[in-house]
Amino acid sequence: MAVYKACENRADDRDLLLEATLCNVNWVEERFTRDDVLTNPYFRHYYDPWQESDFGYVAENSNGEAIGVVWLRFFTADDPGFGFVDEATPELSIWVAEVSAAGIGGQLLDAAIRAARSKDSGASASAWKRQPRADSMNAPGLHGRVGV
């Protein structure tokens, strides 16, 4: 698995972040469509527009296909994300394509945490109190390891 830095120069990053956002908002059950994510400003600002201060990483399989992504976006008080803390703290989003014991989510999260620390930044995230799919994966252990 290769992990590379996501940047605005990659034409496919926007579409990947859109699809990851769609999966994330439908985590518990399907409630929103692709059109909802495209048109609802509360969802749209998670993937568009990419700002110079935003950062993240994409995990690819051996075929070069994206199998996971983590990204951190800076929001304003006028346009906050669901996990907004303040304008100096980016909000972290993460998505992994399939349940895996390969540690893809952990590798992505570790890369994001290292990058945030290198920028002297923390990170925030929002999560459902109980995420049913997470119970069957390694997410509880991962969340505990990183303190969320």
**Measured CA distances, 83 to 77, 88, 107, 148 (Å):** 12, 13, 22, 12
pLDDT for the residue 40: 95
For the chain, residues with pLDDT lower than 70 are: 1-12, 99-101, 128-148
Q: What is the DSSP letter of 145?
A: H
Neighbours of 130 (CB within 10 A): 8
pTM of the complete model: 0.81
Q: Could you give the dihedral angle defined by the CA atoms of residues 44, 48, 51 and 55, in that order, rounded to the nearest 10 degrees?
A: 80
Q: What is the DSSP letter of 94?
A: E
pLDDT for the residue 2: 65
Q: What is the DSSP letter of 28?
A: S
pLDDT for the residue 28: 84
pLDDT for the residue 9: 37
pLDDT for the residue 12: 62
Name the H helices within the chain.
13-25, 34-39, 41-44, 104-118, 132-136, 139-146
pLDDT for the residue 141: 52
